[in-house]
Amino acid sequence: MLVGTAEEEVHVDMNNLFTGTEYTVPKKKIYTSLPHIVADNHFSGDNVMEYIGKKGFGITTTCRRDRFPAGLKDYCHHDKLASTDKRTRVA
């Protein structure tokens, strides 16, 4: 059970099953901020982005052309361009 308020330090009450003694352990915050996730395009759907955004995490993913998020701004480059240069066709 978590015990404490926002002003107090939060701690967890523990029971030692071998000796039957009870003690409290302070609950320490390990990280100062939430992690940023980097993922492949399998995780680039709107439902995943919405879930991660609600939890406060950051995410960077690759994205298939047919799976761009809804509401993408017009100035973002998301249209396929036709290559007209001979050097790019050779490459």
pLDDT digits (tens, 9 = 90+) for 56-89: 998 888 877 677 767 777 666 656 666 677 777 6
Instruction: Indicate the domain borders of the chain.
Output: 1-29, 31-70
Name the more confident of 46 and 89. 46
pLDDT over 90, % of the chain: 5
pLDDT of amino acid 9: 67
From first CA to last CA, the distance across the chain in angstroms is 62
Per the prediction, the chain carries an average pLDDT of 77
Measure the CA–CA gap between 64 and 81, rounded to whole angstroms: 15
pLDDT of amino acid 45: 77
- Please determine, for residue 4, whether its predicted confidence score (pLDDT) is greater than 50: no
Please give the single-letter amino acid code of residue 51: Y
Q: Band of the pLDDT at 54, cuts 50, 70, 90?
A: very high
55: phi then psi, degrees, rounded to nearest 5? -80, -15
